[in-house]
Amino acid sequence: MRLKIFTEDIRADKFFDLLNLRLKRMNVVDRSYGIDTSHLPGASPCNYKQTRVINAASTNYDKILIIVDADGPENLENKKATVEKHIEKNLKCIVNIVICDYELEEWICKSLNIKYGNKPCKDLDHYCRSKGHKKGYRKSEVYKFAKHVDIELLRNIKNYSFGKYLDFLLSNN
């Protein structure tokens, strides 16, 4: 099976590549799956480049996942509607959307037991500085935290974005 994962964060593809490799090594995800990750350009409702990129991917992949940040639970529905505008009706059966309540870094914060507010990346930065990392957390280095994602912890949180991400990887249709 060939899977395509799009992230709105240009720096997140390496994070997902490493996380997916871990999931395969742990036998959580089928090792035979080809999983490619890349950035989906433009998060605005008027950027139709997204539509073209999704359509092009549909010719090479069995399933497509789009992962986006809501920047707050109050924005979940609006964010979903914005992304859905770029998915043509004939592709809705193969395209899934996972929306993080705030941002991808919340997975890391939960895994490391870091309390976070509406900007988990800032709380992760504070945590890194408190551990002696002078430069703190940089979004460009999010991939370094893939090894810290607590898969068992996150997969057991009901209706959480990480569980939906895993459901996508584990479903065969």
User: What residues does each domain of the chain span?
Assistant: 2-102+150-170
DSSP assigned state of 154: H
Backbone angles phi, psi at 53, to 5 degrees: -65, -45
Written as tens digits, the pLDDT of the chain (173 aa) is 999 999 988 889 999 999 999 999 999 999 999 999 999 976 556 677 889 999 999 999 999 999 999 999 999 999 999 999 999 999 999 999 999 999 999 999 999 999 999 999 999 999 999 999 999 999 999 999 999 999 999 999 988 999 999 999 998 75
List the beta bridge partners of residue 100. 69
Give the global pTM.
0.93
Q: Are 120 and 103 in contact (CB under 8 A)?
A: yes
What pLDDT does residue 46 have?
Answer: 64
What pLDDT does residue 45 have?
Answer: 60
What pLDDT does residue 43 have?
Answer: 57
Distance between start and end Cα atoms, the chain: 10
What pLDDT does residue 158 have?
Answer: 85
- C-alpha of 47 from chain center: 20
Instruction: Give the separation between CA 17 and CA 157, rounded to whole angstroms.
Output: 23
Please name the fold of domain 2-102+150-170.
Answer: Rossmann fold (3.40.50)
